[in-house]
Amino acid sequence: MEKKYTEEDLRNAFRAGFVKGTYPSYFSGEPDEEEWIEKYTKEPEEEEETVPITLGMIKLTCGWSEYCDVVKGANPYMLSEWSVDDTEIFNVKVSDAKELGFI
């Protein structure tokens, strides 16, 4: 889908709708327009590289419980709720893999 607006168009539209004091409960004082612009127009963070690791390898090295403690979003009850094969592959962030001792 082709963009029909520029970043500057978005900034101008945002500024046009900005009214100080409209949402005082969300702020400790008057909202700062520059803070809002910085917050809502910044580039998304770059995703960290991942490495594939099998469930069998997780069980043999650190165990599923420790894996769930380190990896955000892992279901600690998965092994008891579903029948999962040891060849199931999980893409783990490099930093988490280092912390768990895979790298």
pLDDT, one tens digit per residue, over 67-76 is 999 998 899 9
Q: Would you say residue 54 has pLDDT above 70? A: yes
Domain boundaries, given as residue ranges, for the chain: 7-41, 50-100
pLDDT band (50, 70, 90) for residue 24: very low
pLDDT band (50, 70, 90) for residue 86: very high
Write down the pTM of the prediction. Answer: 0.56
Concatenated DSSP letters of the chain? ----S-HHHHHHHHHHH--TTSSGGGSSSSPPHHHHHHHHHSPPPPPPPEEEEEHHHHHHHT-HHHHHHHSTT--TTHHHHS---TT-EEEEEHHHHHHHT--
For residue 20, the model assigns a pLDDT of 47
